[in-house]
Amino acid sequence: MSTRQCGTLLLAALLTAGIRPVPPSGISCSLEGWFAPAVAYAQPVRNMIARLRGKKMPSGIVKTNGRVEATQVDVSAKYAGRLAEVSVEEGAIVKLGQIVGRVVSPEYEAELKSAQSEVERAKQSLAQAEADIASRQSSLDFAKADLERGDDLLRKGVITQKDFDQRRRNFESSDAAVKAMTAQRDQAQFTIKKAEADVERIESVLHDLVLVSPRNGRVQYLLLRSGEMVAAGAPVMTVLDLTDVYMTVFLPATDAAKLEIGGEARIVFDARPEYVVPATVSFVAADAQFTPKSVETKDEREKLMFRVKLKLDPKLLQAHFAMVKTGVRGIGIVRTNPATPWPEDLQVSLPK
């Protein structure tokens, strides 16, 4: 390695640490000439470190510490039962609607069989009622025709009033029998609808015993294991929605009041300071977090801290899905003056 290259690396390290180097004894060249390439290389790094430490933040730009969070959604059992299967592990990537577990309930399965049997019994009753209606209707038609003939014969004096009255009673009896069978048919139809509704209800319960992921994301926690009893509404696992990721930061009242919802922001992670991630101010709390909600003096008002969410673009998260993690610490940077341009070292820089 040449002397110039060694000097370049040495000066970059010294300048980053804030130490002004001195040329080695016996070197007659000037300090500026010997270290010029290293100064040019190390200056952007030193500028960024200084900005993130709060030493050289431009007017209208504010930085603060924060941590990355994501929306958490519990996968819960709607009804009680035994957890028969869990098909994912902690850290697994899941998709919306993906089956992640199953709960079994012998009680509901037995109720389903009973309801299905009731449907079949009601259908048989309906078929019997319709057959009886057909038979009674035939008798009614005959009785009606016989009554009409009897009316004509009575006027001609062929039959007596007693015979005519008997024919009328036969007609009325047949008509009542048809109406009774019709009522039985209607009752059978109602029973079928009720039994089918019970079947649909129980099938819905059994469908809800199949656990599915409510979001695209990653399994954060498994709270129950196969074989354990599950109470109604009890969470079985927690899924992180990796398309709804944000950094939570806290800003003084004077800075929070100047933010624009939807305004640009930047995030720099402690573990990967070489990247500058774009974000958007999506939320500013209406109430203070660290001091009483209402204070009277100006000094106390200046101590108010407000929670702010810096939301990451879902498309960006999808492009780097495997790298998205929660709990990561970093620095959130916002503009209290939207007209202030972002410095060069805070321009967006993402992994390839």
Mean pLDDT, each 10-residue run in order, the chain (352 residues)? 44 45 47 42 52 67 91 92 93 92 91 90 86 77 75 74 79 80 85 90 91 92 92 93 91 89 93 92 85 55 81 88 85 92 90 82
Quote the pLDDT of residue 246: 94
d(CA 126, CA 184): 8
CB 291 within 8 A of CB 212: no
Q: Taking each helix axis from N to C terminus, what angle separates 161-208 and 106-156, rounded to the nearest 10 degrees?
A: 160
d(CA 23, CA 219): 56
Q: What Cα–Cα distance (Å) separates residue 138 from each residue in 134, 135, 141, 183, 225?
A: 6, 5, 5, 17, 66
Encoding tokens for residue 154? 């009575």
Reported as half-sphere exposure (CB side, CA atoms, 13 A), residue 226 has a value of: 9
- Nearest CA to 181 among 261, 127, 228, 145? 127
Quote the pLDDT of residue 16: 43
Encoding tokens for residue 253? 């009242």
